[in-house]
């Protein structure tokens, strides 16, 4: 809010995020703000990963519903986290109405803005910003170093490094992060407990079991029950493999 939106809040109050007036909308972030100048307003943020052509209509819906419900000025921002510069319309104009919302693409923000923060939650967002000509490797090294400088405790480090890995996927930088940073984060993020890793391991194990069962079925006269016992799988699994064998098609 302070660094990107220019809002210095001295008080922040959560607002219900279910807005209903003949239709229901659920904003990503909705707060009642009192800023340092004494202004009171509703702050509404929407996070987008894809370039939504009809975003302007959705935001206009939100604006009218929020204004009607809270009777306060409303400030809205769409924060685009995807790659590239979005081309979505931000303005709607007709003979009787004019509406516009600010669109902030993280790819147009200087990553140093996040790197200078003392909050690790903000620092890791630098991976979504403009690298200003620096290589991804250089920027990632700086982000990792800054996260370590601003974080206390191994548990918190583990959480932020896990979040960084998720954000890296949005920029196709997960492999780069893994190559340059595993020495830094391996003790905090166990690859063996990673969901994608476990899914891959399960698939590889299932393929090996399927191959073994297939060989037993084609090279022996063992009944299905014995094949299942030898392979350490269920009878249903053996039946499934048997149905896929060429002789059964």
First and final C-alpha spacing in the chain: 62
Q: In this predicted structure, what is the pLDDT of residue 69? A: 94
Q: Which CATH number fits domain 9-107: 3.40.50, 3.30.420, 3.40.1350, 1.10.1740?
A: 3.40.1350
pLDDT tens digits for 44-86?
Answer: 999 999 999 999 999 999 999 999 999 999 999 999 999 889 9
Query: What is the per-residue pLDDT for 249?
Result: 47
pTM higher than 0.85? no
pLDDT computed for residue 238 by the predictor: 87
Instruction: Give the pLDDT band of residue 203 (cuts 50, 70, 90).
Output: low
**Region 20-34: what's the mean pLDDT?**
78
Q: Which residues contact 75 (CB under 8 A, 6 or more apart)?
A: 7, 33, 41, 42, 43, 44
- The C-alpha atoms of residue 143 and residue 146 are separated, in whole angstroms, by 5
Domain positions in the chain: 9-107, 111-189, 195-248
Tokens matching residue 127: 């991976």
Q: What is the pLDDT of residues 118-155, one digit of tens each?
A: 999 999 999 999 999 999 999 999 999 999 999 998 88
Give the pLDDT of residue 76. 97
| Count of residues making up the chain | 249
Spatial CA neighbour of 101 closest among 72, 60, 134: 60
Q: What is the pairing mode between strands 19-20 and 74-80?
A: unpaired
């Amino acid at each position: 809010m302070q660094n990107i939106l220019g809002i210095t809040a001295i008080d922040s109050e959560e607002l219900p995020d279910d807005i209903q007036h003949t239709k229901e909308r659920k904003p990503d972030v909705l707060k009642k703000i009192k800023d340092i100048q004494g202004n009171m307003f509703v702050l509404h943020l929407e996070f987008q990963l894809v370039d939504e052509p009809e975003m302007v209509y959705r935001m206009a819906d939100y604006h009218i519903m929020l204004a009607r419900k809270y009777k306060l000025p409303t400030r809205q921002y769409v924060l685009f986290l995807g790659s590239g510069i979005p081309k979505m319309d931000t303005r709607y104009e007709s003979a009787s109405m004019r509406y516009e919302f600010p669109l902030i693409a993280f790819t147009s923000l200087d990553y140093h803005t996040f790197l200078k923060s003392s909050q690790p939650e903000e620092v890791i967002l630098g991976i979504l910003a403009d690298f200003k000509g620096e290589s991804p490797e250089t920027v990632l090294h700086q982000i990792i170093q800054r996260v370590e400088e601003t974080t206390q405790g191994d548990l918190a480090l583990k959480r932020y490094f896990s979040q960084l890995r998720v954000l890296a996927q949005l920029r196709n930088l997960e492999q780069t992060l893994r190559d340059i940073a595993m020495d830094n984060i391996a003790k905090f993020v166990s690859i063996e407990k990673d969901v994608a890793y476990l899914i891959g391991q399960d698939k590889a194990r299932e393929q090996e079991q399927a191959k073994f069962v297939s060989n037993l079925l084609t090279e022996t006269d063992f009944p299905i029950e014995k094949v299942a016992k030898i392979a350490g799988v269920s009878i249903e699994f053996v039946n499934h493999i048997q149905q896929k064998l060429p002789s059964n098609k």
